[in-house]
Amino acid sequence: MDETQGTQEAQGTQQTQGTQQAQGTQQTQQTQQTPDTVFQNSQQTALGQNAQTQGQNGQNQGQDGQTQGQQQAPETYDFTKAVTDVYGEGGELDAETTKQFTEQLKQLNATQEQANTIAKFGLEYAKSVGQATMQAVHQAYEKQISDWGEQSKKELGVDFEKKVAQATVTRGYLDKLIPNFTEMLNQTGAGNHIAMIKALAALSEFIKEDSGTGTGTGASMNNSIYDNTDFSKY
């Protein structure tokens, strides 16, 4: 009887100890949870979001930015300000150039303000290139006229002044029939060309001499095709 009671008491004691040990272990495990575990079980902060969440947020922000950019681009662009800044009041941009500008700017998703800046730069560049080209053409043109004069002087030699005087007679006659004929000779430079000088000199033989005008070498060089040209320089 005593032995049976001792066994039961021992089992009770063992069960009680096991229960207490289990409870103690559970409490210890709860106490030993890492900060990360506790944080994961808590609400995440803005900087504590995981990579996937951050990636999704970044993607959403990118989409939002793209949407905003698309919303900023107008349906059509007005280049009036850019044209006026470069060419002044009354300047116009032709339809084809406007179309090309618009197509390129829409690909860039440019705003109206950006479009004006880009268009102004393009127009200023085109203007500078055009001016440089025109200047080069003008310089080449002036050189060509000067070369014609040198060629005429060289080919006619001692007869140069005589032929010019004869050609001047014809020029004066034609000037009466054809207004601005002399102006044309000067503007085009044809008055320096050997072919024009010879042709007008030959025609002078068929033109009646006006009072005070002769066809000989004594004719004044001030009546030459180029009234303002000093042929003594040739």
- pLDDT of residue 38 exceeding 50, the answer is no
Q: What is the mean pLDDT of the chain?
A: 75
More confident residue, 90 or 124: 124
pLDDT at position 224, please? 47
pLDDT > 90 fraction of the chain, expressed in percent and rounded: 44
CA distance 77 to 101: 9
pLDDT at position 192, please? 94
Indicate the pLDDT class of residue 15, thresholds 50, 70 and 90.
low
> Cβ neighbours of residue 157 under 8 Å, at least 6 residues apart?
none
- pLDDT of residue 105 exceeding 50, the answer is yes
Contact 73, 109 (CB under 8 A): yes
CA distance 49 to 57: 10
- pLDDT of residue 228 exceeding 60, the answer is no
Report, as an integer, the average pLDDT of 154-173.
93
Q: Which range (27-36, 48-57, 137-146) has the least confidence?
A: 27-36
CA distance 98 to 79: 8
Nearest to 79 by CA among 60, 65, 99: 99
Indicate the pLDDT class of residue 181, thresholds 50, 70 and 90.
very high
**Per the confidence metrics, is the pTM higher than 0.75?**
no
- pLDDT of residue 75 exceeding 80, the answer is yes
**Burial readout 23-43 (b: 16 or more C-beta within 10 A, e: otherwise):** eeeeeeeeeeeeeeeeeeeee
160-177 helix and 194-203 helix, angle to the nearest 10 degrees:
70
Q: Is 215 helix (H, G, I), strand (E, B) or coil?
A: coil
pLDDT at position 74, please? 87
Neighbours of 152 (CB within 10 A): 22
Tokens standing for residue 222: 């001030």
- pLDDT of residue 39 exceeding 70, the answer is no
